[in-house]
């Protein structure tokens, strides 16, 4: 099984190398190298997941370098968590590569793009499968480099270049404390091996546990776009739409949530860390949902919704609900990939990413209409879509912790924060999803009336191949992703199944065949994944209220934007509440002033002393050189002058 996992992670890496070497010479070879190795990876990852079942933990590794203290090992750790997440990553990456082959069929840089997507996938699988934190860090950083190149794929445009640099810099701001946190945890536990770290957490926690986990939250906030490092993700929409689907659904943004879930017993040992994570999640949920409601660009709506849904996952983790967070990670991977790929088809048809340019598209693209409707319903949490069950699991975990202190250590305040914010976000999510659904697919068909040229970023996204027939390779991935979008939520209904599968990730294995399996689940699992009547009714009522209010506004005036209900809040919300301006005023400008001051000191003071010493030596040497001109009379005159000076000095001294 570990061999299959190693091949699953290695094949995309090999495909990336071959794609870079041979893809430019042969576009057909580039497409084959993009699709077939990922297909094999998806099969291997699915086989590992099926073979694993709930069969405990399988590890294998070799020592990379003996350090004399903490060794670094290239190890694989296969458990329920890694098996499920790797299968999700591989399937979504495969569908993205197939979609990209049609979406970027006229792109001259397709071969390098496909190779980078394969490398991106390999790095994420390395993060998922590895059993060593240092090796995990390698995959973590490779993803950051790949994201820079993929987001900046259309480097001819200023917006793509700026978005790529911003994503790289902002995520690296979080990676610095993340690295320090790994070192603190490694030194504190005496190992970088994930299994040994989890097993060695002292009861009640320790100073190194709190310090290490708090530092690691910096990397989690950066990669998963949580407050205060959320600003890069909406701007990352400057990249191709398939890249957005991959980053938002299965790879980079999921990595932060996955790392916390992987080290969850360590995080559970620090109530302070969980409370900080709950505050971050609660603020991010509401903040990003309001921002999504105000956007006019379709991809930016989905980007802000990703930030909000990631906050659901981090909120579930903060409230003691690791299984719920992972459950939502899996369902979100399906419906968000579907939504982004469907958005790519919509942009292809409309020739623009602006919602105000769309309308009546359900008649032009019925397949896209029905699949995107399923995706939006899952995003909102409409029963019985997958998002309903996973979001209700998060709400159930928060309710469990809020109304009674968690036996596993999650603070009660964290439960209340997550529960209130998640319920409020449920209504906001329904509002902005309904707004998108109505304005894109219903109302007047505005496409024939468009006279303005597409914006540069719209023209680049798909290389201007708009308005023509949609290739089948862009449609059938939508149909495939609709299946888990609709059905995946039902895996959470059997009380013991998912918890039993994921239990081995922290050393807890449940016997599904035992007569008291349900009792064991209640005693040892973090919560029951099945929807709870009270929170479910409240959440459904709130989403019905949010969707109904938007529908009534649209019904009264289909041409008007329901986002106008935000009033004076709409402008700031559309700009992400001017967080970028705040960072510019608080961080960028002061750093710029300090940089200019340091440059002045270095140039005028430090270098001034160096230049002054050099010029003084030059002038002294010049004067000495003029006195040594070969004229004997000058030498004698100098000698006589020196004798006179000495004589006078002696006479005066006497």
Query: What pLDDT, in 10s, does the model give residues 398-436?
Result: 998 998 755 467 889 999 999 999 999 999 999 999 999
Q: Specify whether 302 is located in the same domain as 364.
A: yes
Greater pLDDT, 611 or 467: 611
Of 92-106, 124-138, 485-499, the range with the lowest mean pLDDT is 485-499
| Region class of 411: left (phi > 0), else alpha (psi between -120 and 50), else beta | beta
- Please calculate the CA angle 39-40-45 and round it to the nearest 5 degrees: 100
Which residue, 258, 266, 276, is CA-closest to 209? 266
Q: Specify whether 599 is located in the same domain as 497.
A: no
Q: Cα torsion for 612, 614, 620, 621, to the nearest 10°?
A: -160
Query: What pLDDT, in 10s, does the model give residues 347-379?
Result: 988 888 899 888 888 888 899 999 999 999 999
Average pLDDT, integer, range 48-75: 73
Whether 134 and 193 have beta carbons less than 8 Å apart is answered as: no
What's the number of domains the chain is made of?
2
Count the residues in the chain: 654
Residue 524, SS3 per DSSP: helix
Helices 322-350 + 298-318 axis angle, to 10: 180
Whether 321 and 527 have beta carbons less than 8 Å apart is answered as: yes
Whether 517 is covered by a domain: the verdict is no
What's the DSSP call for residue 566? Answer: G
Whether 347 and 436 have beta carbons less than 8 Å apart is answered as: no
Over the Cα atoms of the chain, what is R_g? 30
User: Which residues form the domain of 290?
Assistant: 2-510+526-577
| CA–CA distance, 308 with 194 (Å, rounded to integer) | 29
Single pTM value for the model: 0.87
pLDDT for res 462: 40
CB atoms within 10 A of CB 358: 25
| CA–CA distance, 515 with 334 (Å, rounded to integer) | 34
Q: Specify whether 75 is located in the same domain as 113.
A: yes
Whether 483 and 489 have beta carbons less than 8 Å apart is answered as: no
| CA–CA distance, 426 with 400 (Å, rounded to integer) | 18
Query: What pLDDT, in 10s, does the model give residues 501-520?
Result: 776 555 444 444 433 333 33
Q: Specify whether 175 is located in the same domain as 247.
A: yes
Residue 531 backbone phi and psi in degrees, to 5:
-60, 145
Residue 35 backbone phi and psi in degrees, to 5:
-95, -50
Whether 466 is covered by a domain: the verdict is yes
Whether 518 is covered by a domain: the verdict is no
Domain boundary pick from 577, 602, 619? 577
Q: Is 495's pLDDT higher than 90?
A: no
Q: Specify whether 256 is located in the same domain as 402.
A: yes
| CA–CA distance, 311 with 419 (Å, rounded to integer) | 12
Average pLDDT, integer, range 72-95: 89
Q: Specify whether 612 is located in the same domain as 532.
A: no
Query: What pLDDT, in 10s, does the model give residues 247-276?
Result: 888 788 999 999 999 999 999 999 999 999
Whether 574 and 291 have beta carbons less than 8 Å apart is answered as: yes
Distance between first and last Cα of the chain: 103
Average pLDDT, integer, range 286-305: 94
Q: Specify whether 504 is located in the same domain as 636.
A: no
Average pLDDT, integer, range 31-44: 93
With helix as H, strand as E and coil as C, how does 350-386 read? HCCCEHHHCCCHHHHCHHHHHHHHHHHHHHHCCCCCH
pLDDT for res 370: 95
- Please calculate the CA angle 132-135-139 and round it to the nearest 5 degrees: 130
Q: Specify whether 484 is located in the same domain as 586.
A: no
Whether 521 is covered by a domain: the verdict is no
Query: What pLDDT, in 10s, does the model give residues 166-204?
Result: 999 999 999 999 999 999 999 999 889 998 999 888 877
Q: Specify whether 536 is located in the same domain as 624.
A: no
Domain boundary pick from 540, 558, 577? 577
Whether 244 is covered by a domain: the verdict is yes
Whether 520 is covered by a domain: the verdict is no
pLDDT for res 264: 92
Average pLDDT, integer, range 337-353: 90
pLDDT for res 458: 42
Q: Specify whether 592 is located in the same domain as 570.
A: no
Provide the pLDDT confidence category of residue 68 given band limits of 50, 70 and 90: low
List 193's β-bridge partners, or say none.
132
Q: Specify whether 542 is located in the same domain as 589.
A: no
Whether 144 is covered by a domain: the verdict is yes
Average pLDDT, integer, range 309-323: 93
Whether 645 is covered by a domain: the verdict is yes
Q: Is 331's pLDDT higher than 90?
A: yes
Residue-by-residue DSSP string for 430-466 = HHHHHHHHHHHHSS---GGG--SPPPHHHHHTTTT--
CB atoms within 10 A of CB 139: 20
| CA–CA distance, 89 with 205 (Å, rounded to integer) | 33
Greater pLDDT, 479 or 497: 479
pLDDT for res 405: 59
Residue-by-residue DSSP string for 111-144 = HHHHHHHHHHHHHHHHHHHBSBHHHHHHHHHHHH
Q: Is 527's pLDDT higher than 60?
A: no
Q: What are the structure tokens assigned to 548, written together?
A: 């109904």
| CA–CA distance, 578 with 405 (Å, rounded to integer) | 37
Q: Specify whether 504 is located in the same domain as 633.
A: no
Average pLDDT, the chain: 85
Helices (H) and strands (E) in the chain, counts: 29, 2
């Amino acid at each position: 099984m570990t061999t299959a996992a190693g091949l699953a992670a290695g094949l995309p890496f090999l495909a990336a190398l071959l794609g870079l070497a041979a893809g430019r010479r042969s576009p057909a070879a580039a497409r084959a190298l993009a699709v077939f190795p990922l297909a094999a990876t998806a099969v291997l990852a699915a086989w590992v997941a099926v073979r694993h079942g709930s069969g405990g933990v399988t590890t294998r590794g070799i020592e990379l370098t003996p350090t004399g203290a903490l060794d670094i090992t290239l190890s694989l750790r296969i458990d329920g968590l890694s098996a499920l997440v790797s299968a999700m990553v591989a399937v979504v990456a495969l569908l993205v590569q197939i979609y990209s082959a049609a979406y970027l069929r006229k792109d001259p840089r397709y071969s390098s793009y496909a190779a980078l997507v394969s490398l991106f996938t390999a790095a994420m699988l390395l993060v998922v499968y590895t059993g060593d934190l240092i090796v995990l860090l390698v995959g973590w950083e490779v993803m950051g480099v790949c994201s820079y190149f993929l987001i900046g794929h259309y480097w001819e445009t200023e917006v793509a270049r700026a978005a790529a640099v911003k994503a790289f810099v902002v995520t690296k701001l979080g990676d610095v404390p993340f690295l320090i946190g790994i070192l603190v945890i490694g030194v504190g536990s005496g190992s970088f091996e994930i299994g040994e770290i989890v097993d060695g957490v002292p009861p009640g926690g320790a100073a190194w546990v709190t310090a290490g986990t708090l530092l690691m939250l910096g990397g989690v906030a950066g990669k998963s776009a949580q407050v205060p490092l959320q600003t890069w993700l909406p701007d990352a929409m400057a990249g191709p739409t398939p890249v957005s689907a991959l980053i938002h659904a299965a790879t980079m943004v999921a990595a932060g949530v996955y790392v916390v879930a992987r080290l969850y017993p360590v995080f559970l040992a620090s109530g302070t860390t969980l409370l900080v994570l709950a505050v971050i999640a609660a603020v991010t949920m509401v903040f990003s949902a309001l921002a999504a409601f105000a956007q006019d660009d379709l991809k930016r709506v989905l980007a802000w919704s990703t930030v909000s849904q990631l906050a659901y996952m981090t909120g579930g983790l903060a409230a003691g609900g690791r299984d719920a967070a992972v459950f939502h990670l899996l369902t979100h991977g399906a419906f968000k990939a579907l939504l982004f790929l469907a958005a790519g088809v919509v942009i292809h048809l409309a020739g623009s990413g602006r919602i105000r340019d769309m309308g009546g598209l359900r008649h032009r693209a019925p397949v896209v209409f029905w699949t995107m409707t399923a995706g939006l319903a899952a995003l909102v949490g409409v029963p019985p879509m997958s998002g309903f069950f996973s979001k209700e699991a998060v709400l159930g975990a928060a309710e469990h912790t809020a109304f009674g202190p968690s036996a596993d250590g999650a603070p009660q305040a964290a439960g209340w924060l997550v529960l209130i914010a998640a319920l409020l976000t449920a209504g906001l999510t329904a509002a902005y999803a309904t707004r998108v659904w109505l304005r894109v697919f219903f109302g007047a068909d505005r496409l024939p009336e468009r006279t303005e040229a597409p914006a540069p970023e719209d023209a680049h996204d798909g290389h201007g191949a708009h308005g023509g027939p949609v290739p089948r390779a862009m449609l059938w991935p939508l149909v495939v992703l609709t299946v888990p979008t609709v059905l995946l939520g039902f895996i959470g209904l059997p009380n013991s199944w998912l918890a039993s599968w994921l239990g081995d990730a922290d050393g807890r294995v449940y016997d599904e065949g035992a007569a008291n399996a349900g009792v064991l689940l209640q005693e040892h699992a973090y919560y029951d994944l099945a929807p709870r009547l009270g929170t479910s009714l409240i959440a459904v009522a709130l989403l019905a209220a949010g969707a109904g209010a938007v529908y009534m506004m649209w019904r009264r005036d289909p041409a008007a934007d329901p986002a106008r209900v935000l009033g004076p809040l709409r402008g700031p919300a559309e700009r992400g509440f001017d967080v970028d301006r705040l960072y510019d005023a608080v961080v960028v400008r002061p750093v710029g002033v300090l940089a200019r001051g340091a440059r002045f000191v270095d140039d005028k003071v430090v270098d001034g002393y160096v230049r002054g010493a050099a010029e003084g030596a030059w002038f002294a040497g010049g004067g000495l050189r003029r006195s040594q001109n070969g004229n004997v009379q000058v030498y004698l005159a100098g000698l006589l002058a020196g004798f006179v000076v000495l004589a006078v000095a002696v006479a005066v001294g006497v």
